[in-house]
Structure 1
Amino acid sequence: MGIADKAKNAAEELAGKAKEAIGDLTGNKDLKAEGQADQTEAGLKNAGENVKDAAQNVKDAFKK
């Protein structure tokens, strides 16, 4: 996974946590849910990148 992808996913997750916290503090259920969804999306993107990295590692191992 590229550094730029890691940074983007981390920023998206952090923004999601902020939205969730603000929604919780203000009683805004929609904002809280949006923050949770953002965090889930960032986590899924990280998982997808990890799968790509693992597949590349396997491919590279067979090249040797």
Structure 2
Amino acid sequence: MDDRTLGERGAENSLKGKLDHAVGHVKDALGGLTGDKSLQTEGKVDQLKGKLQDKLGETQMDVDRGLRGDGL
């Protein structure tokens, strides 16, 4: 069982999503510079996954704040 609050898990998801998005951006750019379409595509996928995970984390934090009565 995970003892972290929904907000803590959300913060972790948001941070990991931002990191994955940044790594994806680097892969995309590097693939574009070197002509490596596979690396470029992998970077684009990582960016999308990162954005989705960041949004999930933000939503988790919003829900946690709402449940604790801190407002949105």
Q: Deviations over 1:41-64 (max 9, x none)?
A: 0110011011111111111118xx
Asked if 1:32 is matched to 2:40, the reply is yes
Q: SS at the partner of 1:2?
A: helix
Question: In the alignment, which residue of structure 2 is the partner of 1:2?
Answer: 11
Deviations 1:4-53 (A, max 9, x none): 851x3332222111110111011111110100110110110011011111
Higher relative contact order (CA 8 A, sep 6+): 2
TM-aligned CA deviation for residue 2 of structure 1: 2.7
> 1:47 matched to which residue of 2?
55
SS at match of 2:52: helix
Unaligned 5+ segments in structure 1 are: none
Structure with the largest fraction of helix: 1
Q: Which runs of 4+ in 1 moved over 6 A?
A: none
3-state DSSP of counterpart to 2:69 = helix
Residues of 1 paired with 2:64 and 2:11: CA distance?
Answer: 13
What percent of counterpart residues are identical? 25
Q: TM-score, normalised by structure 2?
A: 0.71
5+ long unaligned stretches in structure 2: 1-9
**2:19 aligned partner:** 11
Question: What's the TM-score, normalizing by structure 1?
Answer: 0.78
